[in-house]
Amino acid sequence: MPVERVFVAQPLASAGGRIIASPFQFYVTGEDHLRVISVNSLAGVRLKLQGRFIDTSGKLDAFSYDHIPTSDRTATTTMHQLGVGAVLNLTVFASTGAPVSGQTFVIVQLTRGLGAAAIVLGTLLQGYVTSAQHLGWPGSPIVTSTAGEPLIRKIVGTTPGAGNNINETVPTGARWEVMTMYFSLVTDATVVTRRVTVVGEINTDRVFLALAANVSTASQTWAHTFGPGIQATSDAGLGFCQSGTPDRMLLPGGGVFGSRVVALQPLDVLSAPNYVVREWLEVT
């Protein structure tokens, strides 16, 4: 018959002879650091990294470090040296600013050494934070920046000059799914038929195209809406046209999308586009 046995944990000297029930994977020697990496798309954000540390005498200390991300989706890194002992727990959150989920991504790692020669010993925290939603170790899952629901952004694009098409570029460090676009086309007196299309391009290669449900002729004004699942229709009296697009219009950083009007004339004018995108941060 099997016999049940209990293996009792041995007290650790650095814990002052006490048994510590919380996870204790990260005993550090004084050569180790907490590395904080952030990628952020909102100005005015400041992060706090806080936690508890136990030294070799069993003394518990609380610590708090500030970390200021850039707002251009480039990675910002800070290093914080640890003493000899063990990290008991950590939390990281936005202490200043009001990021929403999808705008501020944080990674906290335990490393040995500094700079390019640093060895990553463990990833403790990784995910999005806000002022109200913290990441905590132990407990929070390690998630990628493209997992889960993205940030919803409504953007007013750039007004092209007369005779030019709309061209919008996905920012470096972002991944966009284009959801809707709205813009107008005002044609000059040239008697020729124009046809509006919306396209997406990656490295100048076209990856999607959507065709307007109507055509424009001389001296007309048409408002165009494009989006997935939209039924193609137009109303000449209202000067409105709505057209469907592919279900998912995904573009990486540097991708370009906008209008390509067939037979666009030098004095034809397109308005600045209003568009909605779903944005993920690409952390590399």
CATH number for the domain spanning 31: value is 2.60.60
CA distance 262 to 124: 53
pTM over 0.75: yes
Task: Tell me how far the alpha carbon of residue 206 is from its chain's centroid.
Answer: 24
CA distance 182 to 275: 6
pLDDT in tens, 12-65: 555 555 544 445 567 899 999 999 999 999 999 999 999 999 998 989 999 999
Task: Tell me how far the alpha carbon of residue 121 is from its chain's centroid.
Answer: 26
pLDDT in tens, 197-243: 999 999 999 999 999 999 999 999 999 999 999 999 999 999 999 99
pLDDT in tens, 269-282: 999 999 999 999 99
Stretch (H or E) spanning 226: strand 221-228
pLDDT value of residue 50: 98
Instruction: Tell me which residue of 93, 92, 149 sits closest to 123, measured CA to CA.
Output: 92
Q: Classify residue 170: in a domain, yes or no.
A: yes
Strands (E), 30-118: 32-40, 46-55, 60-67, 76-81, 84-96, 104-112
Contact (CB, 8 A) for 122 and 107: no
Query: Where residue 158 sits, what CATH number does that domain have?
Result: 2.60.120
| 94 and 209 belong to one structural domain | no
Q: Classify residue 5: in a domain, yes or no.
A: no
pLDDT value at 11 more than 60: no
pLDDT in tens, 182-199: 999 999 999 999 999 999
| 102 and 63 belong to one structural domain | yes
pLDDT value of residue 146: 95
pLDDT value of residue 78: 97
Q: What is the per-residue burial (b if ≥16 Cβ within 10 Å, else e) of 184-199?
A: ebbbbeeeeebebbbb
| 189 and 230 belong to one structural domain | yes
Instruction: Tell me which residue of 30, 32, 35, 66 sits closest to 49, measured CA to CA.
Output: 66
Q: Classify residue 54: in a domain, yes or no.
A: yes
| 128 and 46 belong to one structural domain | yes
Q: Classify residue 188: in a domain, yes or no.
A: yes
CA distance 212 to 208: 14
Range of the domain at 83: 23-137
Stretch (H or E) spanning 176: strand 174-186
